Amino acid sequence: MRIGFDYLPARIKALSPCHIPPGAACQRHSEPQGDLTMTAVAEQQTIGRNFNPQPGIRQFNLELFQQLNKEYKDKPIIAAPRLKADSSRFDAARCWAEKLERRIGMRGQRVLEIGCGHGYLSHVLATEYGCEVVGVDIEVRSAWQDLDCENLRYVNADISEGHDFAHESFDRIVSLVVWEHVQHPYTLLQTCRDLLVDGGKFYLRANLHRGATASHRYREVFFPWSHLLFDDSVFYEFYEQMGQEPLGPAWVNTLTYAQYLHYFEMLGFSVIWEHLTQRPLDENLYDRFDDVLSRYPKFDLTTEFFDVILNKRPPTEPDTPTSTKEIKHNDAFLRATAERLPMSRPMDETTAQEVLDLLNSPFYRAVGKTYRLLRHVAHTLRGSKLSANTPPKH
Q: What is the pLDDT of residues 297-347, one digit of tens each?
A: 999 999 999 999 999 987 765 444 445 555 555 555 555 555 544 444 455
pLDDT recorded at residue 82:
61
- Separation CA 362–CA 6 (nearest Å): 10
In this predicted structure, the answer to whether residue 388 has a pLDDT above a threshold of 90 is no
CATH 3.40.462.40 fits 8-312, yes or no: no
Instruction: Please report how the helices 257-266 and 185-195 are oriented relative to each other, as an axis angle in degrees rounded to 10.
Output: 40
pLDDT recorded at residue 170:
97
pLDDT in tens, 153-193: 999 998 888 777 778 999 999 999 999 999 999 999 999 99
pLDDT recorded at residue 286:
97
The mean predicted confidence, pLDDT, of the chain is 78
Q: Report residue 126's pLDDT band, with 50, 70 and 90 as the boundaries.
A: very high
- Separation CA 191–CA 195 (nearest Å): 6
- Separation CA 356–CA 248 (nearest Å): 50
Asked if 173 and 153 count as a contact pair (C-beta separation under 8 A), the reply is no
Sign for the CA dihedral angle at 162, 165, 166, 171 comes to negative
pLDDT recorded at residue 162:
76
In this predicted structure, the answer to whether residue 95 has a pLDDT above a threshold of 80 is yes
Indicate whether this model's pTM tops 0.75.
no
- Pairing mode, if any, of strands 152-156 and 132-137? parallel
- Separation CA 208–CA 276 (nearest Å): 10
Q: Report residue 5's pLDDT band, with 50, 70 and 90 as the boundaries.
A: very low
Looking at this protein, which amino acid is placed at residue 297? P
pLDDT recorded at residue 9:
44
- Separation CA 41–CA 294 (nearest Å): 22
pLDDT in tens, 15-63: 444 443 333 333 333 444 433 433 333 333 333 444 444 545 678 999 9
Mean pLDDT, residues 384-394 taken together: 49
Between 250 and 366, the higher pLDDT residue: 250
Q: Report residue 104's pLDDT band, with 50, 70 and 90 as the boundaries.
A: very high
Q: Report residue 80's pLDDT band, with 50, 70 and 90 as the boundaries.
A: low
What residue ranges do the domains of the chain occupy? 8-312, 324-389
- Least confidently predicted of 37-46, 58-67, 78-87, 378-387: 37-46
Between 148 and 356, the higher pLDDT residue: 148
In this predicted structure, the answer to whether residue 199 has a pLDDT above a threshold of 60 is yes
Phi, psi of 310 (to 5 degrees): -105, 140
